[in-house]
Amino acid sequence: MANPSPLPRISWQALFVGAMFAFMYLPIAVLAAYSFNESAYSANWEGFTLQWYQRLLTDVRIFSALKNSLIVALTAVVVSAVLGTLMAVGLARYRFPGKKLYLGISYLPLIVPDIAIAVATLVFLAAVGFSLSLWTIVAAHIVFCLAYIAIVVSTRLADLDPNLEEAALDLGATPTQAFLKVLLPQLMPGIVSGCLLAFVLSMDDFLIASFTAGAGATTLPMEIFSRIRTGVKPDINALSAILIGVSGVLAFVAEYLRYRSEAGKAR
Residue-level pLDDT at 111: 85
Confidence of residue 83 (pLDDT cuts 50, 70, 90): very high
Residue 128 has pLDDT above 80, yes or no: yes
Residue 82 has pLDDT above 90, yes or no: yes
What confidence tens digit (pLDDT) does each residue in 16-56 have? Answer: 888 888 888 888 888 888 888 887 766 677 788 888 888 88
What confidence tens digit (pLDDT) does each residue in 53-78 have? Answer: 888 888 888 889 989 999 999 999 99
222's CB contacts (< 8 A; 6+ apart) are 65, 206, 209, 210, 213
Decide: helix, strand or coil at residue 5: coil
DSSP 8-state secondary structure symbol assigned to residue 39: S
Residue-level pLDDT at 2: 53
Confidence of residue 160 (pLDDT cuts 50, 70, 90): confident
What confidence tens digit (pLDDT) does each residue in 189-242 have? Answer: 888 888 988 998 898 899 999 999 888 788 988 988 888 877 777 788 888 888
Mean pLDDT on 125-140: 89
Residue-level pLDDT at 91: 82
Residue-level pLDDT at 76: 95
pTM for this predicted structure: 0.80
Mean pLDDT on 247-252: 80
Q: Residue 37 — φ and ψ, nearest 5°?
A: -80, 130
Give Cα separations from 54 to 30, 246, 247 (angstroms): 20, 18, 21
